[in-house]
Amino acid sequence: MKKKIAILISGRGSNMKTIIKNVEDSILKELCEVMVVFSNKKDAPGLEIAKSLGISTKVIESKGKKRSTYNKLLFDYLDELNPDYIILAGYMKIISSDVVQRFRNRIINIHPADTALHQGLHGYEWAFENKMESTKITVHFVDEELDTGKVIAKREVDISDCGTIEEVEQKGLKVEHQFYSECLKKILTTEHTESTENG
């Protein structure tokens, strides 16, 4: 059975776009379907990309709302939607603990740095400013804290030849796009196999 995924974004949506494409005709085909692309920002450029690819979109604006109000609206929406997995792809809000509890081990995030070394924003800037030879992109489950959830996999990117932050980001994003879908495939396939074995 195909798993149902919801993708959460706040901006550009380049990871989202690759995931949708890979569901359409590549490594995620037959494994899952994208129920919706959700954004907390109505002007997130990724929303238009999702629509152009024939994917439903949903916006609940976080701006101008109390955090608790927004969190409750999002919880109610996701609870009703009931996806198998929630995929964060540049979603810039902290996931509230009630959503984490409701979807334990089913919320996945990609972080542009090693979560053991750097949490929060600006992962590529952090690697560049610290003159690192390489950085490790991390795909992990989301728990109640920021970027502390169980690691699914890390992939090292050599950035020693990058002279600007733009080059670091460009090189890193290219890896993210491939890597994120590979990790999703691994998760979706593992669960798939387990549920088959259990009948």
For ligand GRF, the binding residues (CB under 6 A) are: 11-16, 89-90, 110-112, 173, 176
CA 7 from chain centre, in angstroms, equals: 7
CB 123 within 8 A of CB 130: no
Q: Which residue has the tokens 């149902």?
A: 4
Shortest CB 68 distance to ligand GRF, Å: 24
Catalytic residue among 111, 118, 140, 177: 111
Of 20 and 110, the one with the shorter C-beta distance to ligand GRF is 110
Shortest CB 197 distance to ligand GRF, Å: 33
Shortest CB 45 distance to ligand GRF, Å: 8
Residue 61: CB atoms within 10 A of its CB come to: 13
Of 2 and 93, the one with the shorter C-beta distance to ligand GRF is 93
CB 37 within 8 A of CB 7: yes
Beta strands 107-111; 134-141: pairing state:
antiparallel
Of 70 and 180, the one with the shorter C-beta distance to ligand GRF is 180
Active site residue 111: yes
Phi and psi angles of residue 5, each rounded to the nearest 5 degrees, phi first: -120, 145
Of 14 and 40, the one with the shorter C-beta distance to ligand GRF is 14
Shortest CB 87 distance to ligand GRF, Å: 11
- So which residues are the catalytic ones? 111
